[in-house]
Amino acid sequence: MIPISSVLKSREQHFTETKELLESRQFTLGGNWDYESGSFDRALDEAHKVWLRIPFEVVNGNIDSETTETEAKIKLGSPYVLKHEYNEGNDPEASIRLAGAVFDQFQSPVNPDGKVEREWIDSAKHIMHEVEQLFPS
């Protein structure tokens, strides 16, 4: 995980507005969100192993992926780049269970915090600079 400095760190924004602005730059609401925190994620590579992540915490209200309008306010955290390294293919030691087969067929990351090459760090910095221009001062 490589932190990227940003003027957006600690900035409080309305969730819906922030989500729309970031979606315009290919970010999605990360699958790790809950009603009190989450992140906006953007893949930096075609294999979806290198990611730019902007974490946030909810400071007022709560978020819901099913609701398009919410009054929730979020506080943005420090963006960072992370890389997940996987062995390609199915996990040979995956459990064979009917209920769990969908979840157990793929391997866990070999290294969930793999070494991030300079090109991805530079790319993330460039993207963050573009993103910062979307937010009014």
Cα–Cα dist 121/113, whole Å: 14
**With left for phi above 0 and alpha for psi between -120 and 50, is residue 41 left, alpha or beta?**
beta
pLDDT at 13: 95
Domain residue extents for the chain:
2-134
Cα–Cα dist 118/35, whole Å: 34
Which tens digit of pLDDT belongs to each residue from 58-93? 999 988 766 666 789 999 999 999 997 655 555 555
Residue 57 has pLDDT above 50, yes or no: yes
Q: Which CATH superfamily includes the segment(s) 2-134?
A: YugN-like (3.30.310.100)
Which tens digit of pLDDT belongs to each residue from 4-47? 999 999 999 999 999 999 999 999 998 888 888 999 999 999 99
The enclosing H or E element of 124 equals: helix 118-134
Q: pTM, whole model, 2 decimals?
A: 0.79
Cα–Cα dist 23/80, whole Å: 17
Question: What is the DSSP secondary structure assignment for residue 131, as one 8-state letter?
Answer: H
Which tens digit of pLDDT belongs to each residue from 93-129? 555 554 554 444 444 545 455 689 999 999 999 999 9
pLDDT at 32: 80
